[in-house]
Amino acid sequence: MIKRIIIILFLLSNISYSQNCNYTFSGKVIDLHDGSPLIGAIIVSSDSDVLVQTDINGIFNITNLCEKTYVFNVSHPSCESRAYTMKISSNTNKNLILEHHIEELSEVSIYGESNNEKSKTFLENKISVETIDNYNSGSLGDILKNISGISSFNTGNTIIKPIINGLHSSRVVIFNNGVKMEDQEWGTEHAPNIDINSIESLKLIKGAGLLEYSGNAIGGIIIAEASKVKKKDSLYGKTILSNSTNGRGSTISSRLTKTYSNGWYGSIQTTYKRYGDFESANYVLSNTGTKEKNASFRLGLDKYTHGFELYISNFDNETGILKASHSHSAQDQLRAINSSKPLIIENFTYNINSPKQTYTHTLARLKGYKFYNNFGKLNFQYDFQRNRRFEYDIRKSSYKNLPSIDLNLETHSVKFDLFSNLNSNLDSIFNSNSNSNYRSLRLRWKRKAGKKMALGKLPKVFLYRCPIRLNRH
């Protein structure tokens, strides 16, 4: 009996398990943006010596695979490598996607001279980061005066509005980090509420390019954006401190950014500005001081298939208005015009008294994007703005702390953008924008470069715009 048991155990120990390793994994390696094949892409299995390369059509074929889970690492020059986990239980066909345009170069400037060179004023003008840093104690209007064709008018020493081709306010649209500002249409004395230390890219667009952003920006569009972040493990920042003898004040601004190679990033920025009464050559401009406290925060994820960004900023400013400019009647205005110096001159002070303005602009924006295979890219953005403004006039002592004007404006906005490449000849762009000021819907087609089509086959452009005022005051 014992002999039989030993023989059975011996036979069981020699039974070999035969696994099926005749499966095939095939497919194509394509570019995320336009679906074009990537030639010479390398696919490597992490748990075997299998290594294949795509052919001229981007096709690969891996044979003799067993029934189990594999991890395939896909790489290609100028692409970020990507790992795919695949469970092989039969012959499998799947397209692998890489982003061929992952490498993004910084701006390259080419300088030269030509007698026939045309001005770029009517198309697009950019302001360098160095210029923005040099004006860190100024305002947006101060910087924009560096561009030919832009002027400004000042209601106060720090209340500056840009003028483009004689137009201003609602005819000059400002985008702050992708959000259309709803803060400077109240009057000529309302300057844009943007902290210039929170931006690193500033450009002006004129001409037909305006239609991409807004239909009522007849004068031009000013686009202010924060710096782009790179996908690498890094911690960097900068601090700028400036002092001025005129106004006897200072401005300090600091920014700190943390980035990771997996696409996560975060940034925080603060600015504090304090100036007393400004002075001319012979006298003090009484009650022209300013105090400003600003902060912004960014948190986001940047992947080539999806991503998001949360941006929050707060702009808090208190600005004095020249006391001698306050007039009650036509006689006061006539006396001021005929006088060689202001009628009210007081000693220097940091105090800001009436007449003055205090205003706060809060902005919150959440945006995201998602790529869909063989379909296109979907962008989403929601933003909220809250503008709180108080204007104080010279009044009786019992009412001096009561604002003569109290304004409150809240704006919610939702926007969808769909960029579709379903048609090999056309790029389709669908845009839907809805906020408390208006609703808009736009569908646009653009013929791809190198593609020829008969005019009769081109689709019509559909444009719908219905202005509805729903502002909350």
What is the three-class DSSP state of 399? helix
Residues spanned by CATH 2.60.40.10 within the chain? 17-98
One-letter identity of residue 4: R
Tokens (6 digits) for 150: 């832009």
**274, 350 contact by CB (below 8 A):** yes
Read off the DSSP letter of residue 429.
E
Residues spanned by CATH 2.170.130.10 within the chain? 124-222
pLDDT reported for residue 405: 86
- Output the pTM of the full model: 0.71
CB neighbour class for 10 (10 Å; exposed up to 12, middle 13-18, buried from 19) = exposed
pLDDT tens track for 129-150: 778 888 777 788 778 777 777 7
**What does pLDDT average to in each consecutive run of 10 residues of the chain (473 residues)?**
54 52 86 82 78 88 85 83 84 84 56 45 68 80 76 74 78 85 72 84 76 70 84 91 92 94 93 93 90 94 90 93 78 79 89 91 94 82 92 80 87 84 60 62 53 41 36 38
pLDDT reported for residue 273: 94
**361, 312 contact by CB (below 8 A):** no
Query: Which residues lie below 8 Å from residue 400, measured CB to CB, with a gap of 6+?
Result: 354, 392, 394
CATH architecture of 124-222: Beta Complex (2.170)
Residue 217's nearest CA partner among 207, 226, 225, 227 is 207
- Phi, psi at residue 246, to the nearest 5°? -80, 110
* Residue 201 backbone zone (phi > 0: left; psi -120 to 50: alpha; other: beta): beta
Query: Which residues lie below 8 Å from residue 239, measured CB to CB, with a gap of 6+?
Result: 252, 253, 254, 255
d(CA 57, CA 37): 6
pLDDT reported for residue 48: 63
C-alpha distances out from residue 163 to 146, 217, 320, Å: 12, 12, 23
One-letter identity of residue 284: V
Across 70-92, b (16+ Cβ under 10 Å) vs e yields: bebebebeebbebeeebebeeeb
pLDDT reported for residue 256: 94
pLDDT reported for residue 191: 80
pLDDT reported for residue 15: 44
d(CA 390, CA 397): 18
One-letter identity of residue 57: N
Domain spanning 17-98: which superfamily? Immunoglobulins (2.60.40.10)
Residue 330's nearest CA partner among 338, 341, 322 is 338
* Residue 287 backbone zone (phi > 0: left; psi -120 to 50: alpha; other: beta): left
Strands (E), 128-263: 150-154, 160-164, 172-176, 179-180, 201-205, 220-225, 234-244, 249-259
CB neighbour class for 334 (10 Å; exposed up to 12, middle 13-18, buried from 19) = exposed
